[in-house]
Amino acid sequence: DGGITQSPKYLFRKEGQNVTLSCEQNLNHDAMYWYRQDPGQGLRLIYYSQIVNDFQKGDIAEGYSVSREKKESFPLTVTSAQKNPTAFYLCASSRWAGRVAGDYNEQFFGPGTRLTVL
């Protein structure tokens, strides 16, 4: 059964702690992404990776770090430098559909991790 898994589903953190959110995919997708969603808002891009051992900052990277050591895995660390980390975090992956299909990379999303800072 192919898909994207995120763990844990719920995470509670004390102020000043770093926490790592897991994202794994078995879809053989090249690109992976991390988003943050705040209540009543759209998604904002934190980091993305187009290939193993390479990643780029998105629109709101401050206070976050990532690694991409394996194609299947793209963990996100929320550091103590992130001032307001309570949010819903979504991981996604994408694969190029090919020139004939239209040159696009549709993103598919994992189930999300809800992080609460106590």
Partner 1 sequence: ELKVEQNPLFLSMQEGKNYTIYCNYSTTSDRLYWYRQDPGKSLESLFVLLSNGAVKQEGRLMASLDTKARLSTLHITAAVHDLSATYFCAVDRAGRRETSGSRLTFGEGTQLTVNP
Interface residues with partner 1 (CB under 8 A) are 30-31, 33, 40-45, 48, 50-51, 58, 90, 94, 96, 102-112
- At closest approach, how far in Å is the CB of 20 from partner 1? 20
Beta strands in 1-118 (DSSP E): 4-7, 10-13, 19-25, 31-37, 43-51, 54-57, 64-66, 76-78, 87-96, 105-109, 113-117
31 vs 61, beta carbon nearer partner 1: 31
Tokens of 74: 């793209």
6 vs 82, beta carbon nearer partner 1: 6
CB count in 10 Å sphere of residue 7: 12
- At closest approach, how far in Å is the CB of 105 from partner 1? 4
- At closest approach, how far in Å is the CB of 78 from partner 1? 19
Instruction: State the Cα–Cα distance between residues 51 and 100, nearest whole angstrom.
Output: 22
Instruction: State the Cα–Cα distance between residues 52 and 68, nearest whole angstrom.
Output: 5
12 vs 81, beta carbon nearer partner 1: 12
Size of the chain, expressed as the number of residues it contains: 118
- At closest approach, how far in Å is the CB of 80 from partner 1? 27
3 vs 20, beta carbon nearer partner 1: 3
